Structure 1
Amino acid sequence: MRHLIVKSLGILGVALTLAGIGTAPAAAATTTAANPNAPVLAKSARSFPLLTDGSDPADLRLVQLYNTKNTRDIGGYRTADGKWKIRPYQLLRSDNLSRLDADDVKTLTDKYRVKSVVDFRTPGQVKSQPDVKIPGATETYLSVLGPHAYSDGGGDGDFYNQRLNFGYSAITGYRQFLNMMAVNNGGATLYHCSSGKDRTGIATVLIMTILGMDKQTIVNDFMLSQYTHRTVKIDWISKYYYDVELNYGSLQNYINTALAISPATQARLRAKYLVSTDGKNTPYPAPTTPTQPNPTPIVPTEPEVKPAPKPQPDLAPVESGAADQVTHPKKKAAKVKVLKTKRLKTKYHYQLKAHKKWFKDAHLKHQKGKTPKSTKKWRLLKSEKVRIKHKTYTYYQIQDHSGHTAWILKSYVTKK
């Protein structure tokens, strides 16, 4: 119990620090490479060591848009061993897209081929400043601060003066984001918040850690937002690393355990976003296929699936057809074969039949229980046709307005 309390306090410390209201006095100045003459806060007063701000405005890698201040291509960053680098035109970090004009949209569509947009803002911020849509790109909403903030729409100045909810919503949101990035196909992914510095900054810290950049390179990228007329402080990222390392040993272990990003998913991310630095742009080696096939879970002979005994809660986000987190059932499992996967573009809202069983993915792994009585509105993301014991079923991947997803039999979904 004491261990759990210590971890909770550590994560809360990360939240308060990112909010600018951590253990260090609010009026204390910090030392940065941009201002070497600034007074240094005594270590005993702030109780955690400061990292070094070695950021250089020449490294901004800004995407040339007219109506955003902090849109950057993180392509080109090298791994700690210098052998690999992030592919350019694949990963864009940004502030909000509410003021894009036709030229900006054309740049993101034609030059960068953006096919996926991930918005970390709260629903209130999204409503007050909705993104300008990018043709052909899917939009995913993952509020890492929970359903709302006290000053939605008030701008970052007001927003980050209050307490950040850097807990369950952040863990599950970043987890879903990283898993989703591992299976995105074609084009670039653009992820953003309001100013492109805090929520987006931490997302970039996590990505670059998995891809193998060293800590100083990651910290420098976080601090580059100061050259785009945004406020960032070395204290914030220092406290983030300090609390994570205090409770988990390293940021990599935090990704492995707290975020529960599987080794296979991390290997897919490296294979997808890294190329060699030898001038040949050789792709990073893809993860090898296991020599023994993963066992498949028990599935029903009827369309409704029998629940597994005492199912454990599953916080991991949905991965389409992902097979790297398969559980090991005690009984011999029936074979499940995915015949076809299709992305859906629907303009309608759907509701679910009550008391029907849903699952983590179309392989019928990790049952989530039964659908509630309430008539929530859902939208369809994907469909998968699967064969189970010589019978064919169609499953829909559905998403509610808060971004929660699940798989369910097509026959259990009705048009609103």
Structure 2
Amino acid sequence: MTQRILSITSGENFRDLGGYQTTDGRHLKWRKLIRSGALGKLDDHDQAKLAALNVKYDIDFRSPAEVKQLPDHVPSTAQFHHEPVFGTDLTEASKTTADLDQELMTIPNRGASHMQEVYRQMTHLDSSLVAYRNFFNYLLSTPDDGALLFHCQAGKDRTGFGAYLVLSALGVDFETIQQDYLLTNTTTSDWVTNKLAELRAAGHSETFVNNYAQLAGVDESYLHAATSAIQAQYGSVNQFLTDALQLSNHDLRDLQSLYLTDN
């Protein structure tokens, strides 16, 4: 796992998708696919680290308001592309506690049910389908010697769904994809623990604290809400890739050629 987590100190949740095995025995190339949280606080040193990986595309899934509030510090090697999954940040990852819905204070597990609905929406909203369709276009355009980085605010939901899609397209089994998805809870555990302690110290109810924890982390039920919606409408994730995201068999073969190795 040490090799997977990038040593970025002025940003959160920077991870390499390299090394994962596909069902046909191939592996994802290292330092080709990077998932992360927002790049708006990157210092020069960390930008240089990403430039050393020859990051060619910086794909930002955040809403327009999020991008305006905290613009990316784009590595010198990369082109920035804004592909908003939502018109507004439905995940609430960028909101302060004062902005959170009143229901979070009174309804147990409202955070989890909210996130499950967000994941279902990522499977059918026009803005989401356009964003992920364009995401694959950039994936297919990344040169052999370059890397692609994709992110949202916290690097867990819109980014997590994007990782699910690309890893599925490359032939990684669902159990491995889910393990990568849940890794966010490890990489962000210190931040979440400190934030929950702050909320308790400020006098917030346990209902609110637990709901905030559900918003701040990831859970199997969130990803399963998306996969169940895809199964119900398309039959399989492969059919979603071809029908909803308009990827041809040729595109999928090219994707595998770019990002997989026999070693």
Cα 1:201–1:152 change in 2 (3 A) is: closer
1:262 aligns with 2:248: yes
Question: Residue type of the partner of 1:261?
Answer: L
Question: Residue type of the partner of 1:90?
Answer: K
CA distance in 2, matches of 1:60, 1:223: 17
Residues paired across the two proteins, number: 217
Which protein, 1 or 2, shows the higher relative CO under an 8 Å CA cutoff with sep ≥ 6?
2
Aligned to 1:250: 236
Aligned to 1:190: 149
Aligned to 1:234: 220
Aligned to 1:89: 31
- Post-superposition shift, 1:184? 2.0
Between structures 1 and 2, the one with greater helix share: 2
Q: Following superposition of structure 1 onto structure 2, how do residues 177-326 of structure 1 map, counting pairs within 5 Å?
A: 177-185=135-143, 186-229=145-188, 230-277=216-263
TM-score w.r.t. the length of structure 1 is 0.49
Aligned to 1:117: 58
Q: Following superposition of structure 1 onto structure 2, how do residues 321-340 of structure 1 map, counting pairs within 5 Å?
A: none
Aligned to 2:10: 67
Aligned to 2:21: 78
| Counterpart secondary structure, 1:182 | helix
Q: Deviations over 1:242-297 (max 9, x none)?
A: 221122111111111111111111111111000112xxxxxxxxxxxxxxxxxxxx
Aligned to 2:195: none
| Counterpart secondary structure, 1:206 | helix
Q: Deviations over 1:225-245 (max 9, x none)?
A: 010225001111122112211
Runs of 4+ in 1 over 6 A off after TM superposition: none
Q: Deviations over 1:369-392 (max 9, x none)?
A: xxxxxxxxxxxxxxxxxxxxxxxx
Provide the identity percentage. 30
Aligned with 1:176 (options 134, 138, 143): 134
Q: Give ranges in structure 1 of 5+ residues lacking alignment.
A: 1-57, 278-416
CA distance in 1, matches of 2:69, 2:48: 24
Aligned with 1:98 (options 40, 47, 56): 40
C-alpha contact 2:58 2:74 (8 A) present in aligned 1: no
C-alpha contact 1:179 1:261 (8 A) present in aligned 2: no
TM-score w.r.t. the length of structure 2 is 0.76
CA distance in 1, matches of 2:76, 2:18: 23
CA distance in 1, matches of 2:151, 2:225: 22
Aligned to 1:138: 79
| Counterpart secondary structure, 1:75 | coil
RMSD (Å), alpha carbons: 2.3
CA distance in 2, matches of 1:103, 1:241: 38
Q: Give ranges in structure 2 of 5+ residues lacking alignment.
A: 102-110, 189-215
CA distance in 2, matches of 1:168, 1:190: 23
Q: Deviations over 1:84-122 (max 9, x none)?
A: 111111110000011111211111112x11121000001
Larger Rg: 1
